[in-house]
């Protein structure tokens, strides 16, 4: 059973779960949740607002007022209510569009139900307009999108997910010393952006929340995947802990592995997880967005090369990188990790997106970084290519093995124009084939290493 009502199947939408949600004092109306005791025209506006933002869920038949003696779960007549919502969506929304409906009967024999309206922003025809305006959802209320937000909705790709939230993670840069040399073999970065709930938009990061997030990371598959990257050279590791002086809206956690004692400053593998919350005084017309970024920094090659006579030439085995990627992605969807991220942002776990981008920045050629065991280089990949003339697709072209490849077309003889602009005689000393660059293709064999072929 899915732990989130936002993503639960129809069979898992039970009245007991809805009662438990309504009884929670912390589960108030938010960015993705709205309560309605009955149908009203504002319900259609909320559907449009959620469709233009992150999606969400509207529970019709739940009193939005909380107080002593107030019954929250009141129920409605299901079919007439659904008919009203469908009619409102058809006549008010532009373009006409309706979300998904689920009828959850009460268990008191009254014949009434709670109608669950689930708005999926992934399938909505965004932007959804009402009277030429685009409603958007903020924390517990609706607002009108500004010009920039409307342009963003219009320009987004049909296949893009909500808000282009996932993801636009900035590519990292390798740190360099005073001589300009990289201080690591490579850095790997991924991350997510996520919306902020009402409480998460203003409250600071607490020590308890950050510590719980660090513990969830320690309990995930991430640490073992990091340790595996050391290829047996790691003697000591630290758990995730705070790095430096954290601010009210920012926190950094670090995991480090060394070859000797804990005081050893040579960190063969290092992982830094950064949490950045938006400032509480941001524009009220813009949905606040937080980010979680993960950087993995490896230095095993540099350590091996710096050992002098005891050093060796290290290459990262591809299976070890595969284990790292699997462990990283497995941790990103780990229920405990997702729950802590959702708690920090004050959102439902269904809104914690999966990472979509992965950046790898290295200080050396990929053949000098990875072990070639079991790999075979594809000739010509990564080299400069000329515009292809009309003809068969690349997969249909045939080139004899070892044949050289011309990188530029032969230069035409330069002619001095006459005073009327017509081509004149050739310039003295000019060779028609001058300027033609040729390169012999390079191939790779695990047994013999790189070699030139004629």
Quick one: pLDDT band at residue 430, thresholds 50, 70, 90? very low
Q: How far is CA 6 from CA 17, 56, 158, 324, in A?
A: 12, 7, 22, 31
Strand positions, DSSP E, 135-237: 135-138, 141-144, 186-195, 236-237
**337-362 confidence digits (pLDDT tens):** 999 998 898 887 877 878 888 899 99
Averaged over 290-297, what is the pLDDT?
Answer: 94
What are the tens digits of pLDDT across the range 76-87?
A: 999 999 999 999
pLDDT on residue 440: 38
DSSP-based three-state secondary structure for 207 = helix
Greater confidence (46 vs 373) lies with: 46
pLDDT of residue 413: 47
Q: How confident is the model at residue 364 (pLDDT cuts 50, 70, 90)?
A: confident
Q: Which helix (H) or strand (E) holds 149?
A: helix 147-155
- 85 vs 138: which has the higher pLDDT: 85
CA separation for the pair 14, 11 (Å, rounded): 7
| 8 Å CB contact between 297 and 272 | yes
pLDDT at 454: 36
Residue 413 vs residue 216, higher pLDDT? 216
User: For the chain, what is the radius of gyration of the CA atoms?
Assistant: 30
For the chain, how far is it from start to end, CA to CA, in angstroms? 63
- Under 8 Å between Cβ of 251 and 275: yes
The answer to which of 120-124, 289-293, 351-355 has the lowest mean pLDDT is: 351-355
**pLDDT band at residue 308 under the 50/70/90 scheme:** low
Residue 161 has pLDDT above 90, yes or no: no
| 113-119 β-sheet, strand order | 33-36, 56-60, 113-119, 100-105
pLDDT in tens, 180-229: 889 999 999 999 888 877 666 677 888 899 999 999 999 999 999 999 99
Distance, CA of 278 to CA of 290 (rounded, Å): 6
pLDDT of residue 371: 86
Which pLDDT band holds residue 167 (cuts at 50, 70, 90)?
low
pTM of the model: 0.62
- Phi then psi for residue 276, to 5 deg, are -125, 115
């Amino acid at each position: 059973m899915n732990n989130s009502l936002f993503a639960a199947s129809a069979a898992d939408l039970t009245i007991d779960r809805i009662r438990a949600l309504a009884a929670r004092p912390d589960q108030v109306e938010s960015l993705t949740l709205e309560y309605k005791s009955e149908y009203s025209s504002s319900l259609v506006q909320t559907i449009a607002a959620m469709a233009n933002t992150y999606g969400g869920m509207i529970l019709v038949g739940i009193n939005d007022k909380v107080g002593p003696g107030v019954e929250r779960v009141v129920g409605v007549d299901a079919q007439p209510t659904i008919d009203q919502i469908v009619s409102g969506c058809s006549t008010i929304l532009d373009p006409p569009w309706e979300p998904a409906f689920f009828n959850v009967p009460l268990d008191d024999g009254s014949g009434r139900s709670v109608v669950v309206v689930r708005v999926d922003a992934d399938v909505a025809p965004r932007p959804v307009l009402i009277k030429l305006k685009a409603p958007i959802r903020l924390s517990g209320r609706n607002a009108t999108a500004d010009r920039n937000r409307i342009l963003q909705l219009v320009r987004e790709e049909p296949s893009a997910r909500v808000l282009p939230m996932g993801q636009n993670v900035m590519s990292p840069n390798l740190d360099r010393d005073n001589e300009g040399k990289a201080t690591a073999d490579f850095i790997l970065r991924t991350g997510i952006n996520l919306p902020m709930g009402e409480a998460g938009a203003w409250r600071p990061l607490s020590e308890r929340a950050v510590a719980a997030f660090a513990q969830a990371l320690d309990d995930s598959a991430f640490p073992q995947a990091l340790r595996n990257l050391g290829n047996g050279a790691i003697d000591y590791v630290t758990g995730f802990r705070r790095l430096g002086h954290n601010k009210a809206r920012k926190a950094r956690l670090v995991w480090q592995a060394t070859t000797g004692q804990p005081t050893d400053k040579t960190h063969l593998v290092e992982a830094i997880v950064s949490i950045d919350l938006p400032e509480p005084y941001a524009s009220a017309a813009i949905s606040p967005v937080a980010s979680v970024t993960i950087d993995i920094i490896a230095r095993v090659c540099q350590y091996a090369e710096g050992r002098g006579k005891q050093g060796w030439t290290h290459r990262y085995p591809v299976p070890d990188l595969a284990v790292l990627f699997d462990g990283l992605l497995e941790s990103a969807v780990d229920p405990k990790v997702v729950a802590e991220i959702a708690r920090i942002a004050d959102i439902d776990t269904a809104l914690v997106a999966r990472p979509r981008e992965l950046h790898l920045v290295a200080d050396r050629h990929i053949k000098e970084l990875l072990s070639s065991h079991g790999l075979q280089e594809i000739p010509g990949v990564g080299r400069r290519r000329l515009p292809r003339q009309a003809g068969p697709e690349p997969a249909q072209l045939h080139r004899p093995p070892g044949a050289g490849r011309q990188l530029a077309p032969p230069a035409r003889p330069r002619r001095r124009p006459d005073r009327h602009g017509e081509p004149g005689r050739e310039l003295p000393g000019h060779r028609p084939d001058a300027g033609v660059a040729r390169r012999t293709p390079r191939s790779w064999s695990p047994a013999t290493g790189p070699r030139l072929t004629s």
